[in-house]
Amino acid sequence: MTPAPRRAARAPSPRRRTGASAAPAPIGSIPLEGSPKPHPALGLGLWGLGRWTEEDEARTKATIGRAYEAGFRWFDTAEVYGGGRSERLLGEVLQRAAGAASDAFVATKVSWEHLRPSQVRASLINSLERLGRRSVDLYLVHGPDPHVSLAETLGTLETLWKEGKVGALGVSNFSVEELESAAKGLSEARIAVNQVRWNLFDRRDADPVREYCRSHGILIEAYTPLARGLLHGRYLDGKSAPADVRRFIEHQFPPDRFPDVLERARALRALARESGVSLPSIALHWLARQGAAPVVGMSRPEQVDSNLAAWAVRPSDAVLDRADAIARGDRA
């Protein structure tokens, strides 16, 4: 006999609560070159969400709903996240908000497998259908394909931009050489964003492109800003990380370096406690001081509140300087 399915929790409506509930916290925004909307300074990343069980999907919806209610407006997804399910879940939640969340800043990405002109257009149309929107505020090339001309891909994206289906164009995981190649396909639009992995411990992708992006007015969006929980204080007291997190950490840090990274993370936590701020406050505002916009992965509503609380408190420049030195291994 098949057991009765577990009843999934209903996602709360993202409409603003009444009564004693606090108003959404201000997150702030950054001007974005060529975009009709400013870019929120902190975002919710939906990587890895929407792939699993009905219960997982309900939790994802609850997280998105809580994020919108609490003041998040930047939602980052992609057609490859959950095979499109992440976009669908995001669209379902935002459609329930007042005015279908017209103030949301929705960003999605075309897969590196769909960069030929006909594929790009089809991918965007499919993403818009799943999101339930006529346009997206930001459309990123998720990664380059060595077999497809970047200029050709960006030329197609510019056409979609002219048609009003895209508010701004961007890329992800691009080197300076790839940024320059992609820009050759644009005549009126411009590359407004490069999204790369960047946090206090992992600067390999960001350091080579930082100056180029700054000088060309390209905003860097920083994903994995909390190093998959290490910079939130997780796994620092002997608790083993889940298998997927261990794999990600091993990808970021060679096994022989990981014990040193843990030691530095503990030193950063001690600095946070000494300074009266949280460890994620240091991690997020260190990136903001570099001019980056962090996009944080969250899978539970309570993580929305903790990350928003961390963002609300900015550590002093002296604390951020010390954190930078600790993370680099310069204790002096």
Please identify every residue annotated as catalytic. Answer: 81
Find out whether 220 and 195 touch, Cβ atoms under 8 Å. yes
Tokens found for residue 2: 């098949």
Query: Could you give phi then psi for residue 217, rounded to 5 degrees?
Result: 65, 30
- Number of H helices and E strands in the chain, helices first, is 11, 10
Query: How many angstroms separate the CA atoms of 260 and 263, rounded?
Result: 5
**Of 13, 48, 33, 2, the residue nearest 192 (C-alpha):** 33
Query: How many angstroms separate the CA atoms of 278 and 275, rounded?
Result: 9
Tokens found for residue 265: 């993370």
186 residue type, one letter: L
Query: How many angstroms separate the CA atoms of 301 and 249, rounded?
Result: 24
295 residue type, one letter: V
Query: How many angstroms separate the CA atoms of 323 and 207, rounded?
Result: 17
Please list the helix, strand and coil fractions of the chain in percent, rounded to the nearest 5, in that order.
Answer: 45, 15, 45
Query: How many angstroms separate the CA atoms of 332 and 323, rounded?
Result: 12
